[in-house]
Structure 1
Amino acid sequence: MGVLLYYPTVNPPTEVVHQALLYWDGIASVVPRDPRLYEALVGPELRRLEERELYRPLAFTDESLDVLDRYGPSPHADQNWSVLTGELRRIAARPDPPVPTSPPEAVLFTSKITYPLKQLLLELGLATNLVPWSFGAQLSVSKEVQSLVVGVLARELAATTDSALFPYTDSEDAYRNSLRPASPTRCLAWEMELGRLLPVPAPDTPTEDVLAFREKYADERRRLMRALHRMLGDLRRDYEHPADVFAQLRLELSEAVEDYRAARRSSRMAWAHRSVTVSVALAAAAGGALLLPDLGWLLGTIGGYALNVATREIRPLARARDDHDFSYLHRVQSGLA
């Protein structure tokens, strides 16, 4: 089912960790490549999950950063670098650019980024060196700059590893930054809200309880996610006929949702519904009335859950590199179901 790649910080919120454990194969985050910084920054829960092969720390190596400086580790790295530097210059040219503060609003570890990028941030006045530092060389930056830079790094890592990684964030700015164009070509996407189909345990639920549920109801979890991912893939390929896609998968989705609901009832845990937005890049250029955002197709109800598909159009979207290139936004501001 793939792994959630959380950004922009190293340690995801507990509810994001629980989301990953229930509906994906695990969680990853972008960490500094210095082992000492890793030991200092990564929390104990992530370390326990790493021992169980459920957490994967990701970092650029010195060699890959050198390649990125010159050519980029992926065919799109030069485009990403161009977009990133262009956005940073635009931010710096604003009448009210985000000025680094002390104490810092956000930090960037220099061992996460390339030397040319560090120099550019300093030259544009978007970063200042933090001296002294607690965990290695750091830059003071705004949250906007942090989310933009780490978001690009996260997507670059997702494109260059051998695993299916789904970039995922609880930062609105970081999510919107991921929808910036990586090339002059305009690419369309549908944005869908799937949160009510993917409930998570209520706050303060111990992670051990979540792991126990994950193992006991593995079949129900996988069946639900297979159905959802199949729907997203079919919508990406057959964007002109979303109602047909839904009709074909309605029974499979309905049964998967009902089985998972029964598993939740058996668990005796309290559950919360939090917003999860998925942006699906369309596989080909498209146009015409079907892409007008005000059409707002309501394709039906699955086991009591309203599923709104194609209710919002995004222009432009960073060009998808692989079929699994979805961006997830986890919003925490939701009450208990």
Structure 2
Amino acid sequence: MLYYPFAAAPTNVIQQAILYWDGLRTVVAPGWRSRLGPEMEAIRDRGFYAPIRPYRDYRRALTQDRVIPDLQQALSEIGPLDVQIPEEPPILNSNTMLYEGKLNPGVVDMLITQGYAVRHPDSPSRLYGSPRLMHMVISIMASRIAADNNWRHGSEGPESLYPHTDITTAFRLNVDPIAGRRVSDGWKVGRLTSDPSFPCRERVSILVVSGNSEKSMNRLVLI
């Protein structure tokens, strides 16, 4: 599982990664170790978690000539209010910022010069803008990373990556079709529910694979 848009996955995502997949990957920036919580540290020590350093591991997949066209196309299909920069910078531990180290320098320059993001005054290595824009950038990166990884290692097996998020806006940005770009397959795990109409007393979780692959399907998992 490739979780996005944040480097540190929440508890429910960690549990899903262990139950449904062979492990967890997230996109990280320099200094990522200091931002891992105890649960992430525990699964890393047991070999269930490995970080993805985009600036090192997927440099070719995230060049500006690949990311910027996707981003420009996505921006053209949403309203200006959706990408409006907040009047006040967010607090430093906010999840609505992007570490510059995750991005190609050309992408950083495009976001700043075209007025989509600014540097945080208290931490210039972090960019902030509208939450939807931040999620959009990471969604595109996750899609590019998964596609490149699966092209090299195959879309099945322990090395395959499938994007997953628990943030609704980020999920829709990654799987909704954008003209000229093939969306990646991804998982969205619904809340655990007790359904009295279902012919068992166990709680169920609905897992939906979204994408345009011929292998896309709905799956019901009992736990």
* Band of TM-score, shorter chain: 0.7 to 0.9
How do 1:144-223 and structure 2 match up within 5 A?
A: 144-161=132-149, 162=153, 163-181=159-177, 184=180, 195=190
Q: Distance in 2 between matches of 1:186 and 1:165?
A: 16
Aligned to 1:316: none
Mapped pair 1:44 → 2:31: no
Mapped pair 1:59 → 2:53: yes
Deviation track 1:85-129 (CA, whole Å, cap 9, x = no partner) reads 2223555x7266422332256100000011111111112222110
Mapped pair 1:108 → 2:111: no
What is the CA-CA distance between 1:181 and the residue it aligns to? 3.4
Is the 1:58–1:157 Cα contact (8 Å) retained in structure 2? Answer: no
What is the CA-CA distance between 1:59 and the residue it aligns to? 1.6
What is the CA-CA distance between 1:67 and the residue it aligns to? 6.9
Structure 1: which 4+ aligned runs deviate by more than 4 Å? 191-196, 271-275, 325-328
Counterpart amino acid of residue 103 in structure 1: P
Q: Structure 1 residues 272 and 131, CA, compared in 2 at 3 Å: closer, same or farther?
A: farther
Aligned to 2:125: 137
Identity between Structure 1 and Structure 2 (%)? 26
Between structure 1 and structure 2, the one with the greater Rg is: 1
> When the two structures are superposed, what TM-score results if normalisation uses the length of structure 2?
0.73
Aligned to 1:14: 11
Q: Structure 1 residues 20 and 141, CA, compared in 2 at 3 Å: closer, same or farther?
A: same
Between Structure 1 and Structure 2, the one with more helix by share is 1
What is the CA-CA distance between 1:152 and the residue it aligns to? 1.0
Counterpart of 1:156 in 2: which secondary structure?
Answer: helix
What is the CA-CA distance between 1:48 and the residue it aligns to? 1.5
Give unmatched runs, 5+ long, in structure 2. Answer: 154-158, 194-198
Q: Distance in 2 between matches of 1:114 and 1:274?
A: 37
Moved more, 170-179 or 98-107: 98-107
Is the 1:110–1:138 Cα contact (8 Å) retained in structure 2? Answer: yes
Deviation track 1:226-274 (CA, whole Å, cap 9, x = no partner) reads xxxxxxxxxxxxxxxxxxxxxxxxxxxxxxxx9xx8xxx9xxxxx8555
How do 1:83-122 and structure 2 match up within 5 A?
A: 83-88=70-75, 91=78, 94=80, 97-100=83-86, 101-103=88-90, 106-122=96-112
Structure of greater relative contact order (alpha carbons < 8 Å, 6+ residues apart): 1
Equivalent of residue 30 in structure 1, options 27, 32, 55: 27
Is the 2:73–2:178 Cα contact (8 Å) retained in structure 1? Answer: no
What is the CA-CA distance between 1:9 and the residue it aligns to? 0.7
Q: Structure 1 residues 59 and 84, CA, compared in 2 at 3 Å: closer, same or farther?
A: same
Q: Structure 1 residues 185 and 96, CA, compared in 2 at 3 Å: closer, same or farther?
A: closer
Aligned to 1:248: none
What is the CA-CA distance between 1:326 and the residue it aligns to? 8.4
How do 1:166-315 and structure 2 match up within 5 A?
A: 166-181=162-177, 184=180, 195=190, 273=204, 276-283=207-214
Is the 1:128–1:140 Cα contact (8 Å) retained in structure 2? Answer: yes
Q: Distance in 2 between matches of 1:131 and 1:125?
A: 16
Q: Structure 1 residues 150 and 192, CA, compared in 2 at 3 Å: closer, same or farther?
A: closer
Q: Distance in 1 between matches of 2:9 and 2:160?
A: 19
Counterpart of 1:126 in 2: which secondary structure?
Answer: coil
Is the 1:167–1:326 Cα contact (8 Å) retained in structure 2? Answer: no
Q: Distance in 2 between matches of 1:147 and 1:327?
A: 25
Give unmatched runs, 5+ long, in structure 1. Answer: 72-77, 201-257, 266-270, 284-322, 329-336
Counterpart of 1:178 in 2: which secondary structure?
Answer: helix
Is the 1:28–1:56 Cα contact (8 Å) retained in structure 2? Answer: yes
